[in-house]
């Protein structure tokens, strides 16, 4: 068997903008999902996972779509990717997949996209080497949307496939949906070590699930807000017009997306110009405030992590991912990182929250084969 890996991601800024044709700026994490894969000729797809003890899950290629609802939830992600390859008529005669994941599940770090993309890149190399990155991303996203029931945009899969070490990925989602992918994304240098900085991830231990209703509800509300404004997507909305939306909930949702797109562009401009990344800290914190107040996807644990990080000296902090649990990030001076992490653990203990997991991350490589 050969082995491929795909990383989790953390979004520096640009939360809940991808499904409104907006802008995002993720980095790939050093934490990956490993997929060992081997082509077979028996007409079946078989998948096992080190994190899911028990017998492998096995299904006929011709029956993957029909068997979806009878499969374990976790197996729908990898087998959904296989099903998407089959649906598109790509030449798969059979495949065996063995998975091992180091991306925390439910932490808002895109463990599901890492899983799906590790399988997708393995299948491409084994069966369809001429597929473009753009096609691969679309297939992984379709598998998550249609087979696993997770209504994601393309942020997570794009980060898993396209990110490069030492850089953040600036992705214009609308342009990426078109034909010219080369002009739709750019690699933005993100060298925190050069400035004596670190990016601390705080996993609150409160898992979120994109297949639950909150994420899909927010997406539907954004679409309704765009319709109320008469624009194709909230990317096109004028801030002044947003404030005239009659429904207060839709107004808040639109205000977040419009403001978040502007914050992404401001961060990219600063990083492109070689500014000290400390300058982006207030924009990260502003994103958290918007996600908490206008988008209403934060939690008491996430708010505590952010407030404590800032009080302990972080230059900026915010929740990341879809929300309703998961993780936060804090931009810290290297010599302050341990103090910030310790302060958060103490605050969680005082508030009766589960002890958080904290770790430093650096911009890492996207999906690739390792042997």
pLDDT in tens, 23-38: 999 999 999 999 999 9
Per-residue pLDDT at 211 exceeds 50 = no
pLDDT in tens, 335-349: 999 999 999 999 999
CATH 3.30.70.1560 is held by the domain 193-361: no
Report the pLDDT value the prediction gives residue 109, as an integer from 0 to 100. 86
CATH 3.30.230.10 is held by the domain 2-189+366-370: yes
Question: 3-class DSSP state for residue 338?
Answer: helix
Higher pLDDT, 12 or 72: 12
Per-residue pLDDT at 356 exceeds 80 = yes
User: Which of 60-74, 120-134, 164-178 bottoms out in mean pLDDT, i.e. has the lowest?
Assistant: 60-74
Report the pLDDT value the prediction gives residue 208, as an integer from 0 to 100. 62
Q: Which residues are catalytic?
A: 156
**Within the chain, where are the H helices?**
64-67, 73-87, 111-127, 133-142, 155-162, 173-177, 213-229, 239-242, 248-272, 281-293, 300-311, 337-350
pLDDT in tens, 135-148: 999 999 999 998 88
| pTM of the predicted model as reported, rounded to 2 decimal places | 0.91
Question: Half-sphere exposure of residue 1, counting CA atoms within 13 Å on the CB side?
Answer: 15
The domain limits of the chain are 2-189+366-370, 193-361
Q: How does residue 180 score in pLDDT terms, banded at 50, 70 and 90? A: low
Number of C-beta neighbours around residue 231 at 10 A: 17
pLDDT in tens, 228-287: 999 999 999 999 999 999 999 999 999 999 999 999 999 999 999 999 999 999 999 999
Q: Terminal CA-to-CA distance of the chain, rounded, Å?
A: 9
Report the pLDDT value the prediction gives residue 188, as an integer from 0 to 100. 97
């Amino acid at each position: 068997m050969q082995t491929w890996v795909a990383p989790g991601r953390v979004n520096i800024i640009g939360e809940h903008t991808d499904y409104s044709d907006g802008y995002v700026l993720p980095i790939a994490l050093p934490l990956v999902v490993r997929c060992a894969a081997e082509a077979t000729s028996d007409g079946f797809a078989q998948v096992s996972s080190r994190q899911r003890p028990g017998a492998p899950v096995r299904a006929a290629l011709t029956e993957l779509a029909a068997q979806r609802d009878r499969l374990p939830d976790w197996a729908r992600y990898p087998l959904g990717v296989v099903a998407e390859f089959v649906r598109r008529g790509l030449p798969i005669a059979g495949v065996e997949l063995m998975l091992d994941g180091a991306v925390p599940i439910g932490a808002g770090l895109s463990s599901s996209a890492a899983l799906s993309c590790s399988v997708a890149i393995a299948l491409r190399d084994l069966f369809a080497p001429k597929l473009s990155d753009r096609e691969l991303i679309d297939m992984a996203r379709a598998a998550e949307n249609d087979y696993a029931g997770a209504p994601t945009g393309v942020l997570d899969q794009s980060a898993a496939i396209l990110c490069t070490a030492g850089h953040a990925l600036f992705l214009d989602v609308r342009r990426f949906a078109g034909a010219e992918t080369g002009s739709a994304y750019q690699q933005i240098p993100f060298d925190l070590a050069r400035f004596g900085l670190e990016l601390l991830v705080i996993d609150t231990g409160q898992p979120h699930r994109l297949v639950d209703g909150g994420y899909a509800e927010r997406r539907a509300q954004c679409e309704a807000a765009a319709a109320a404004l008469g624009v194709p997507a909230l990317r096109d909305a004028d801030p002044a017009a947003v404030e005239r939306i009659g429904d207060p909930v839709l107004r808040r949702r639109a205000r977040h997306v419009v403001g978040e797109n502007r914050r992404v562009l401001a961060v990219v401009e600063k990083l492109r110009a070689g500014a000290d990344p400390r300058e982006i800290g207030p924009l990260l914190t502003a994103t958290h405030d918007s996600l908490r107040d206008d988008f209403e996807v934060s939690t008491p644990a996430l708010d505590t992590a952010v407030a404590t990080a800032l009080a302990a000296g972080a230059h900026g902090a915010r929740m990341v991912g879809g929300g309703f649990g998961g993780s936060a990030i804090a931009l810290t001076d290297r010599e302050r990182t341990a103090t910030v992490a310790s302060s958060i653990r103490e605050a969680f203990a005082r508030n009766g929250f589960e002890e958080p997991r904290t770790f430093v991350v650096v911009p890492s490589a996207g999906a690739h084969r390792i042997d």
